[in-house]
């Protein structure tokens, strides 16, 4: 068993109920290989933590930015609590080293790990809420998530979806509205795969892939922003 006291020291949080902390890191796959493990998986805690996280972030943004519209605050909140942001933060906090996973999941470092880390962050918030209440969660979320991530999100306009941001930058910098085109389409109707290109005039800037045209376009726009260095 992993030494969760090391994580408590790192986070400067001491759990009264250590099992709640451990359960937050227990993925369903771990129980498949360890059916006699005394704790349940973390999905109920994730469900709870998701609600607590959204409330803390909403309350903070509402109070901190009284002149911003509902639309602005919604976009900022979405950027703060999306899976990419939470997974990145979970890595920064060292959560990866404490995950309880099956041997197969432990070896998999693909996109699936990102979702596991994001879900574990939410489960951790749920466990902290059950152990120490709302104020402890508020302190943790504001210090770890909002203070670290919000300035970057606002500075780089990460609250805007990639397609909107690329279009805004393209019109501002080169006075061209981007266009998208299907480069390749494959797979049966229920499992389509698209490769889309994003163009500035006749110049293809980047390609993106996904299970729908929309998803592939978003990926292409993200790559285009990076290639053009328009995120700085």
Asked whether 197 and 183 are in contact (CB, 8 A), the reply is yes
Catalytic-residue membership of 131? no
Euclidean distance between CA atoms 170 and 207, whole angstroms: 16
Cα separation values, 40 from 2, 23, 112, 130, Å: 16, 7, 21, 15
| Catalytic-labelled residue, pool 46, 50, 105, 131 | 50
Catalytic-residue membership of 50? yes
Phi, psi of 149 (to 5 degrees): -100, -35
Euclidean distance between CA atoms 24 and 82, whole angstroms: 19
Asked whether 122 and 49 are in contact (CB, 8 A), the reply is yes
Q: How far apart are the first and last CA of the chain?
A: 43
Nearest C-alpha neighbor of 187 from the set 210, 208, 206, 207: 210
| Catalytic-labelled residue, pool 46, 105, 122, 217 | 122
Query: Which amino acids are annotated catalytic?
Result: 50, 122
């Amino acid at each position: 068993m992993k030494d969760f006291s090391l994580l408590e020291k790192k986070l400067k949080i001491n759990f009264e109920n250590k099992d709640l902390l451990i359960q937050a890191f227990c993925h369903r796959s771990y129980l498949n290989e360890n059916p006699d493990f005394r704790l349940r998986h973390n999905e109920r805690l994730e469900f709870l933590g998701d609600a607590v996280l959204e409330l803390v972030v909403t309350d903070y943004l509402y109070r901190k930015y009284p002149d911003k519209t509902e639309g602005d605050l919604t976009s900022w909140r979405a950027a703060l609590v999306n899976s990419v942001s939470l997974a990145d933060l979970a890595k920064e906090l060292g959560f990866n080293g404490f995950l309880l996973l099956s041997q197969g999941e432990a070896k998999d470092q693909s996109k699936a790990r990102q979702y596991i880390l994001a879900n574990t962050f939410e489960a951790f918030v749920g466990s902290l809420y059950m152990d120490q209440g709302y104020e402890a969660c508020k302190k943790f979320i504001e210090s770890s998530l909002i203070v670290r991530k919000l300035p970057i999100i606002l500075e780089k306009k990460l609250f805007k979806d990639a397609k909107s941001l690329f279009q805004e930058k393209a019109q501002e910098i080169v006075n061209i509205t981007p266009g998208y085109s299907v480069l390749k389409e494959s797979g049966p109707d229920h499992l389509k795969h698209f490769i889309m290109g994003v163009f500035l005039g006749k110049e293809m800037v980047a390609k993106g892939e996904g299970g729908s045209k929309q998803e592939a376009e978003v990926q292409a726009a993200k790559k285009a922003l990076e290639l053009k260095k328009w995120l700085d």
